Amino acid sequence: MYPFSGNTPIWLGIKHRIYSNKNWIVTGEGLLSPASGNSAFGSPHIEGTINGIINHQISKQLSWELQLGISELSDPAIIGGQLYRSFNPDFVLNYTFKQKINIYLESFAQTKTSSAESFGLVQGIGLIYLLNKKITVDLAFYQRVTGELLGFERYIGVGFARLF
């Protein structure tokens, strides 16, 4: 889409553990984005998402996670800036090797991917490496299965996270 580059919206989030024991974690998450980004890739409206997350540790190495969310999102201003709502299921299967390496498979969908588009699904695989007790490095590859979800055909990502 012209202009081929630009800024996406800024998102702020908060996550709170509601319940946990040895094998289960239940979490709630809220995300909020002010009107931000440029006219081609940003949002002219406030956007938000609320997620419920359940994680189950099956064994020392294997776990799964289900996230169910509801979002109010916006098309970029360049294509009209229309608001739309979406239900967003996300399922992740994790396997841990030697306590420092984690691989995962993920399927993520949205019932509506823009004001004019319906269902979208992406699937991916990733690797997370624990550098120390507070820092991880990750590598991910995702492929669009159907719909126009997240605006890509294939995605390769590299990142890091730090626990504060």
Q: What angle do CA 68, 69, 72 make, to 5 degrees?
A: 165
Helices (H), 107-148: none
* pLDDT for 1: 57
The alpha carbon of 17 is separated from its chain's Cα centroid by a whole number of angstroms, namely: 18
The segments of the chain whose pLDDT lies below 70 read 1, 150-151
Domains of the chain, each with CATH number or no CATH:
12-162 (2.40.160.40)
pLDDT of residue 6: 82
pLDDT digits 0-9 by tens, 92-116? 999 998 889 999 999 999 999 889 8
Q: Which long-range contacts (CB under 8 A, 24 or more apart) does 74-77 make?
A: 74/43, 74/44, 74/45, 74/47, 75/114, 75/115, 75/116, 76/37, 76/39, 76/40, 76/41, 76/42, 76/43, 76/44, 77/39, 77/40, 77/42, 77/43, 77/44
pTM to 2 decimal places: 0.85
